Amino acid sequence: MSKSVFGWDLPPGVSMRDIDPPEQPCEVCGQPSDSCICPECPVCGEQGNPKCYESHGLALSEKQIESKTISDQQIAMENQQEEGGY
């Protein structure tokens, strides 16, 4: 890769998102991974893994459900704004 006036030149079709993708929120509670409110699974020790709720007997708390609903609404609103161009 060569260096240009604007930074590194990337190959066509490659962006910085491909190299350093943004952090994804927890699949269960929708919070960033460093502030996830999900409990640790007593079987496998993972946190925020949806499979633990299906096969390891974990149950969603009201706080997790509320947090995920708010997160999904925010993401939908951001996507709608991006599509609308404002």
DSSP readout, 44-80?
T--BS-HHHHHHS-----HHHHHHHHHHHHHHHHHHH
From first to last of its 86 residues, the chain has per-residue pLDDT tens of: 555 556 667 778 777 767 777 788 999 999 998 899 999 999 999 999 999 999 999 999 999 999 999 999 999 998 888 887 65
Structural domain containing residue 29: 24-80
In a domain, 45, yes or no: yes
Counting the structural domains of the chain, the total is: 1
Is the overall model pTM greater than 0.75, yes or no? no
pLDDT given for residue 62 in this prediction: 96
In a domain, 68, yes or no: yes
